Amino acid sequence: ALEKKVVKSKVGEKVFLPCCHEIPSSESLQNYRVYWQMNTTEVVLAYAEGTKMPPHERYKNRTEMDVRNLTLWISPVEILDSGPYQCVVQHRRHSQNSVVVCDETVTLFVTADFSKPNITVEEHNNSCESTVMVVSCSSHGGFPKPKISGALNNVSVVWNTSSVSKSSLGLYNVTGQLWLNVTKDVSFTCFVQYNGFVKSSSLLLKNKNDCVVPTVPPSYNVITASSIIIIIFLLAITLAARYLPRHVCSHCCKPQDSVEEDVKECMKPPVSSKVRPETSSV
């Protein structure tokens, strides 16, 4: 009976593929023919009556088989190794006729880890209220084909554009791009999902708020009024500077003779204001 088996491995690892038969300790590999083949066309490894047969060129120096449990191992695993492997075991009886004692398929599923997502930001427009940004996320070198997604503050967003490409080695590269109008600081997270694995990166997007309020020049009327006030103020100061010295000199800075006369005048006794009565003659 055919039993479906799946073995998972990652690129560069060593993987073991089990066979459906084990040679008893009372017998030897010389009584068997063992074929490990892929897609029923490529001979990965084979033994006939104990003798190892030449493998397919692509598996040369990368495969071995246990001579008892007939397990096949491949190292290092490559992406192209993914697929179904068939283990066919024939036992040679005394009559020299070979009888198939085992025929089973094992599917090898190879994965490759994607790189940690790289997030880049390009600013297009800044204003007092918001910042327009183009956010890009990329990851490469993985397998199988991934799914890329994004989130703002843990809320899912839809990419404006996304693409997946495949390299000559069968590895995938993925990119996503998102246009955002950022009005406040927000956390952006990029997820790359593949075969049950997730790689993610996060970045805080900041609204720059680069506001430069332009200086408004004063109006013509304001300039005229200010000029008149300044001119009147300067004239007042000038007139005051000219008048105050003359006023002081007219009272305080007299000639010497005038000063002496004033002093004498001040020294005279005050004249009584009373009027004496006239004496009548008898």
pLDDT at 218: 61
Q: Which residues contact 72 (CB under 8 A, 6 or more apart)?
A: 16, 17, 19, 36, 44, 45, 63, 64, 65, 85, 87
pTM: predicted TM-score of the whole model, two decimal places = 0.60
CA pair distance 150, 163, nearest whole angstrom: 14
Stretch 254-269: mean pLDDT = 52
Q: Which residue segments constitute the domains of the chain, with CATH numbers given?
A: 6-111 (2.60.40.10), 115-205 (2.60.40.10)
pLDDT at 32: 92
DSSP per residue, 4-35: -EEEEEETTS-EEE--S----TTS-GGGEEEE
- Name the band, by pLDDT with cuts 50, 70 and 90, for residue 95: low
Stretch 41-61: mean pLDDT = 88
- pLDDT tens digits, 197-211: 899 999 999 887 656
- Name the band, by pLDDT with cuts 50, 70 and 90, for residue 135: very high
pLDDT exceeds cutoff 50 at 275: no
- Name the band, by pLDDT with cuts 50, 70 and 90, for residue 270: low
Give the whole-number percent of the chain exceeding pLDDT 70: 78
CA pair distance 236, 219, nearest whole angstrom: 26
pLDDT exceeds cutoff 60 at 3: no
- Name the band, by pLDDT with cuts 50, 70 and 90, for residue 246: low
pLDDT exceeds cutoff 80 at 1: no
pLDDT at 170: 86
Query: Which 3 state secondary structure label does DSSP give 109?
Result: strand
- For Cα atoms 80, 86, 89, give the angle at the middle one, nearest 5 degrees: 145
172 neighbors 146 (Cβ within 8 angstroms) = yes
